Structure 1
Amino acid sequence: MGLKSWRAARRRRKEEALERPRYGWIWKPLLALLGLYLLVSVALGIWWSQPPAAFDVEQATLERRGEAAYAPGARGTVSVATLAQSVATLLEKPGGYLRNDVAPPGVWLDNMPSWELGVLEESRRLALALPQMAGGDSAALVEAREALLGDDRDWLYPSTEQRLEEAVAALDRKLAALDDPEAGFPPGAGLGSWLASVAEGLDDLALRLAASVGGHEALTELAVDTESLPPPTPWYRVDNIFFEARGSGWALAQLLEGVQRDQADVLDEAGVRGEWERLLAELEMTQRRLWSPVVLNGSGFGVFANHSLVMALHMNRARDLAASLAERLAEPPAALAAPAEITETQPGEALLEDSVEPSEPVEPPVEAVERLEEEVVEPPPEALAAPEA
């Protein structure tokens, strides 16, 4: 009995000590600060998870060129400027680059880091194709390519943010070099190989999205070979693949529009302008607003939608269009391949032909002679001749 009363008295003394002012000012403010920190982190996480809006490629080109924008740029200017702006968006959007964060709220987020991965993958593909599209490698393109191919989760020195800044600076130097009209890209060079790599990336995304669909019956509409599907996607990673596909569609739509500005004559000559526009429209469909707070994987005509299945459908259509464009643009159009050589030799040849007189008269073809004989007008009859004065 005495032991119980001693323990009760000891517990009361501890409670009284904690209620004293000298202890109350420590733990209560700490709890308040912790609650405020969590509230701010949740609000920032919601704000940072909003993807940025698409930018105008022509306006972005003018801003990145600066004072040189008053003069026309060479072919390839808009493509390089669009790639630089896409990479800069990863740094300038709300929250900056979040994929390598190790502290809240970035470490809690997964949708926006997956979106950033999709943008980074498409930027890498174009950076790898730029030397072929430019007709030759350069120091600026090599630096941009190596910076973009680094680890996307590095947070120590050199961090991913630093490498992305180096890539943007290198692309800006290449953009300044394109102020010279003679430094432009060859018409249509490298378009086929770039679009082929884009088609491969879209096919991989479509397969991973299809792997998260519950039943294989839903894949018949997509004409997906179920035997080639990767392992089923865990339920907690379904939204990651979905937002990676959204980021890839966002970046690819911007890059395709920039390349279209530079290669408009090539697309018209090859007759693929309509197909190119359909590819852009298909990618824009992947950016429609997601009304649900989470990514759903419903079935059939049920209450809940199947977001992964819809995104896989758009990825498949975009893959087919990109593969078709890659085949049709594998070789640059012959009409645009060598216009300079014709303009250089034609004036001299024309002068030579005008100055040299033929040694022998050139007889017209037999068909031309017969046609001329038929067109000869016969003399009028004597009855219709002019009367004598």
Structure 2
Amino acid sequence: MFWTNFKQKLLSIPSKFRFSVGANTRSRLLLTAFGIVIIAVLVIGFYWSREPAPFPVADTTNQRLARIGNEYVVGSATTAALISAAETLLDKPGGYLSNDMLPPGIYLDNIPNWEFGVLVQIRDLSRSMRESFSRSQSQSTEDADLIISEPRFHFDNDSWLFPPSESEYREAIGYLNSYLSRISDPQNVDAQFYARADNLASWLLNVESRLGSLSQRLSASVRQQRVNTDTAGERGALQSIPTRAEVQVKTPWLQIDDVFYEARGATWALMHFLQAIEIDFEQVLADKNAGASLSQIIRELEASQRSVFFPIILNGSGFGIVANHSLSMANYISRANAAIIDLRSLLAQG
């Protein structure tokens, strides 16, 4: 009798703790789970949207050379800065986002535009290294590693699969590491980096063009009436389709932050590359008395990387109460570009 009563009481325990889950309760649970997912996506997206911090070019160069057991030679800093910028593009929080097909990456646009700005500068410098910095003359052969590395950086920046963009850029970085190892190896005379005024001026001419375009696009955040100067300076100049003497320019409202973050990425990469140039071309700059000009360019680019203390990019009139972040960025870029023009002039002097 005792065991029978005890068994019945034991079997009745689960029924006392049984919960009745109705339709309302299930709906609440689903909404709660959905809310948690949304909050998690927002938090991760916010973390991934942070721009990477600058890296010390000189220290990074020394660390890379120490890992391969070589010492500094001319060209080491520029090559190491190019490698580090490319690695930052891939290894920052969230990784490479421009080709993401899943949330939160697919919903983010600020960092993908930042990535594109960095990538354009990487492409330009890698091309100059292949065509100019690594060659003694226009008729000399191109470096074997740079022949393979440079076109891989020009691979489609938003390819998700077959192959993904990251894999192509990783391969390019691998060949750059091989080039760095070869130019810093005293036993290897096949790989070279030539620090000359003419090849530096050639790369700076391309930088000048890029910054000029970014400055114009940033300035167009407010509607402007501009005089058409497309064929100015040459009487016989022609263009395929004639345009009006005055043109009105205005960046579409939804593209203002895209242009801003592309400019932030471009100036971030260029800041590091010029710091490396300052190391590798120290003697050339001293001979041309151009060191101060380069330092001023770097200072302007560093100022362009100041933190934006507002969650969105403001687009005021320029003289109103509300700030205009695009015009502020255009100001720094224009001043850096003007200094680059002066630097190229100094390099061209005998």
Fold shared per TM-score above 0.5: yes
Q: Deviations over 1:130-160 (max 9, x none)?
A: 0211115222112211111011000112111
Q: Deviations over 1:274-316 (max 9, x none)?
A: 1101110111111011112111121244221111111111111
| 8 Å Cα contact 2:224/2:249 also seen in 1 | no
Structure 2: gaps spanning 5 or more residues: 1-19, 136-140, 227-243
Q: Give distance in 2, aligned partners of 1:275 and 1:289.
A: 25
AA partner of residue 203 (structure 1):
G
Tell me which residue corresponds to 1:316.
334
Q: 1:227 to 1:118 in 2, by over 3 A?
A: farther
Q: Give distance in 2, aligned partners of 1:24 and 1:156.
A: 43
Q: Please, which of 203, 215, 218 is the counterpart of residue 212 of structure 2?
A: 203
Q: Does 1:289 align with 2:307?
A: yes
More helix by share: 1
| 8 Å Cα contact 1:90/1:97 also seen in 2 | yes
Equivalent residues in 2 for 1:256-275, closer than 5 Å: 256-275=274-293
Q: Give distance in 1, aligned partners of 2:257 and 2:21.
A: 49
Q: Give distance in 1, aligned partners of 2:28 and 2:165.
A: 39
Equivalent residues in 2 for 1:369-388, closer than 5 Å: none
Equivalent residues in 2 for 1:295-310, closer than 5 Å: 295-310=313-328
Equivalent residues in 2 for 1:1-389, closer than 5 Å: 21=21, 28-69=28-69, 71-131=70-130, 132-135=132-135, 136-181=141-186, 182=189, 183-188=191-196, 190-216=199-225, 231-330=249-348
Pairwise CA RMSD: 2.4
Q: Deviations over 1:160-193 (max 9, x none)?
A: 1111111111110001101234444223151111
Q: Deviations over 1:88-116 (max 9, x none)?
A: 00111111111111111111111111111
AA partner of residue 155 (structure 1):
W
| 8 Å Cα contact 1:242/1:311 also seen in 2 | yes
The normalised TM-score by structure 1 is 0.73
Q: Give distance in 2, aligned partners of 1:200 and 1:92.
A: 29
Q: 1:24 to 1:305 in 2, by over 3 A?
A: closer
AA partner of residue 193 (structure 2):
F
Q: Give distance in 1, aligned partners of 2:248 and 2:106.
A: 27
Q: Give distance in 2, aligned partners of 1:292 and 1:24.
A: 40
Structure 1 residue 79: Cα displacement: 0.6
Q: Give distance in 2, aligned partners of 1:39 and 1:186.
A: 53
Larger CA Rg, structure 1 vs 2: 1
Q: Give distance in 2, aligned partners of 1:102 and 1:68.
A: 37
The normalised TM-score by structure 2 is 0.81
Structure 1: gaps spanning 5 or more residues: 1-19, 218-225, 334-389
| Count of residue pairs the alignment pairs up | 305
Q: Give distance in 2, aligned partners of 1:158 and 1:297.
A: 38
The percentage of aligned residue pairs carrying the same residue is 36
AA partner of residue 194 (structure 2):
P
Tell me which residue corresponds to 2:8.
none
Q: Give distance in 2, aligned partners of 1:39 and 1:305.
A: 30
Q: Give distance in 2, aligned partners of 1:27 and 1:142.
A: 60
